[in-house]
Amino acid sequence: MQRGYRMTDLKTTPLAQLHRTLGGKMVPFAGWEMPVQFPMGVMQEHLHTRAHAGLFDVSHMAQLRLEGANRVEALERLMPVNVAELKPGRQRYGLLTAADGGILDDLMFANMGDWIYVVVNAARADHDIPHIQSATSVEVLDRALIALQGPKAEDALAALNDAVRDMRFMDARVMPLIDGDCIVTRSGYTGEDGFEISVPKAEAVAVVEALLEQEGVAPIGLGARDSLRLEAGLCLYGNDIDETTTPVEGGLIWAMQKRRREQGGFPGADVIQRQLAEGTTRQRVGLQPEGRAPVRAGTTLHAVENGPVIGTVTSGTFGPSVGGPVAMGYVETSQAQPGTMLYAHLRGKYVAIRVATLPFVQQTYKR
Amino acid sequence: MTVKYTEEHEWLKQDGDEVIVGITEHAQAQLGDLVFVELPEPGIKVAKDDEIVVIESVKAASDIMAPLDGEVTAVNEKIVETPSLVNEDPLEEGWFFRMTLDDPSEFDDLMDEQAYKAFIG
């Protein structure tokens, strides 16, 4: 449990009552009361999502509508990302950077034609909204957001609107599922094919109940969301990337398209361009402990037993689909080659841990 | 067999000169799916509240403490191989270790089932 929150201070999503009815165990998360698990349990919820379909409440994330005439230039001034050439109906991963090249947040944005749809992390919303507002006008959308992930996601969502079958990975469309307009993107944060669906608040419970009636769909909590994203090699902001890590160190060069890398014009461009040319002293890597013990965030890494610290684990848990512990963290660049054997200092012992290629599980996006 | 309980959510079952120790149904439900168990070496002397077992659930690591002073006589290797046994059958197949007690009268001072049920509310 995170300290510093009383349940009564927490914000609730339109689905909170439904989570309770479904037996969800509610915990504080980034100022919100969210289900960490349902009666199935984290392990089975994780495996169910990869085998069938998992339904997640991610309404705690902030949804923004940018419709100012300067919205494209404004976002390009804040992110090392190509906003201008993202076609209508397409979504992209983005990063807000600071003047020193650190990452202020990661986000998803989509070109909806005459406006841009942005989804930012719950824990960073209070920072991001004024930050983006300083560059262009921002409307905060008071809507529910759900993720439907896994091999049965398409069939389940198609039962509400068959048009989703025509979408491919990172497509974004507005369509009704019951009555009101929903913003549907074919994306997610589990490594599985699936959708994120922005729903008018008043329809949220009805949409979720309709999806839960479909074959193979089960409610999934934040616990399984974390192990799913870690197996998929995806960063958790605040753990794996933050203001002290740059996109180059974080292995997110792919998120900065060529024009932006070459031309700059975003916060921290000098640092990031220098790192692109000269390399960095540390790198984010996948880590696979040799034994069965999970190696958690904060554990130090060493090239030799009793040697100096050469890195730190930033996320670590048991990967139910991998069938063993999985982790990621930062190591000195000289130790970052996949296959490199390192030692994690765990409860006074040095435990073998190998640098691994990310992701740990094959992504099944519908490209 | 008499069964007693600790405030750390362990159960102790008297079996001849030894007690068998495990965690309660309430504890396994709170911990969630166990994925890793590290047990002590049989033969070690332990003092009450020594952290002698490490368990990891999908969520977090926890320690299981020696419930009383004594000596560990045997451990359940099956739960090292299959940690989920603790979730599935915490009171029988999912036992952790057996120990002798330095002062067997301390066993009698632990909570009985009724007191433990009141303790967990």
**Structural domains of chain A, ranges and CATH numbers in brackets:** 7-59+142-231 (3.30.1360.120), 281-356 (2.40.30.110)
Summary mean pLDDT of chain B: 95
The CATH number of whichever domain residue B50 belongs to comes to 2.40.50.100
Report the domain count for chain B.
1
Task: Quick: pLDDT tens for A136-165.
Answer: 999 999 999 999 999 999 999 999 999 999
Task: Quick: pLDDT tens for A301-325.
Answer: 999 999 999 999 999 999 999 999 9
Of B105, B114, B108, B97, nearest to B10 by C-alpha is B97
Percentage of residues of chain B with pLDDT beyond 90: 93
Q: Is residue B113 part of a domain?
A: no
Q: Is residue B109 part of a domain?
A: no
**Subunit contact B33:A294, Cβ cutoff 8 A:** no
Q: Residue B40: list chain A partners with CB under 8 A.
A: none
Q: Is residue B9 part of a domain?
A: yes
A3/chain B closest Cα distance in angstroms = 16
Q: Is residue B117 part of a domain?
A: no
**Nearest-5° Cα angle at A182, A39 to A180:** 105
B33/chain A closest Cα distance in angstroms = 6
Q: Is residue B33 part of a domain?
A: yes
Of A12, A5, A6, A237, nearest to A142 by C-alpha is A12
Neighbouring-strand partners of residue B63: B54
pLDDT at A324: 96
SS3 A234: coil
| Mean pLDDT score, B34-52 | 96
**How far does Cα B39 stand from its chain's mean position?**
11
C-alpha A6/C-alpha A82 separation (Å) is 41
Query: What's the Cα-to-Cα distance from A239 to each of A126, A221, A298, rounded to whole Å?
Result: 18, 19, 9
Q: Is residue B116 part of a domain?
A: no
Mutation for testing the A interface, residue in B52, B59, B87 having most A CBs under 10 Å: B59
Residue A347 touches chain B, beta carbons under 8 Å: yes
pLDDT at B65: 95
C-alpha A239/C-alpha A313 separation (Å) is 9
pLDDT at A2: 41
Under 8 Å CB-to-CB from A98, ≥6 apart: which residues?
A: A104, A243, A267, A268
Residue spans of alpha helices (H) in chain A: 16-21, 42-51, 71-78, 125-133, 153-158, 204-212, 222-231, 258-263, 269-278
Percentage of residues of chain B with pLDDT beyond 70: 100
**Subunit contact B32:A37, Cβ cutoff 8 A:** yes
Q: Is residue B110 part of a domain?
A: no
Q: Is residue B98 part of a domain?
A: yes
- Name the residue of chain B whose CA is nearest to A324's CA: B35
C-alpha A254/C-alpha A268 separation (Å) is 17
Task: Quick: pLDDT tens for A239-297.
Answer: 999 999 999 999 999 999 999 999 999 999 999 999 999 999 999 999 999 999 999 99
Task: Quick: pLDDT tens for B105-118.
Answer: 999 999 999 999 99
Query: Within 13 Å and on the Cβ side, how many CA atoms surround A193?
Result: 18
- Name the residue of chain B whose CA is nearest to A291's CA: B36
C-alpha A169/C-alpha A152 separation (Å) is 15
**Subunit contact A318:B54, Cβ cutoff 8 A:** no
Burial of B98 (0-12, 13-18, 19+ CB in 10 A): buried
Task: Quick: pLDDT tens for A22-50.
Answer: 999 999 999 999 999 999 999 999 999 99
C-alpha A88/C-alpha B112 separation (Å) is 67
C-alpha A22/C-alpha B27 separation (Å) is 22
SS3 A359: coil
Query: What is the ipTM score, two decimals?
Result: 0.83
Stated as kind and residue range, the H or E segment containing A116 is strand A116-120
Quote the domain boundaries for residue B24: 3-104
**Subunit contact B36:A320, Cβ cutoff 8 A:** no
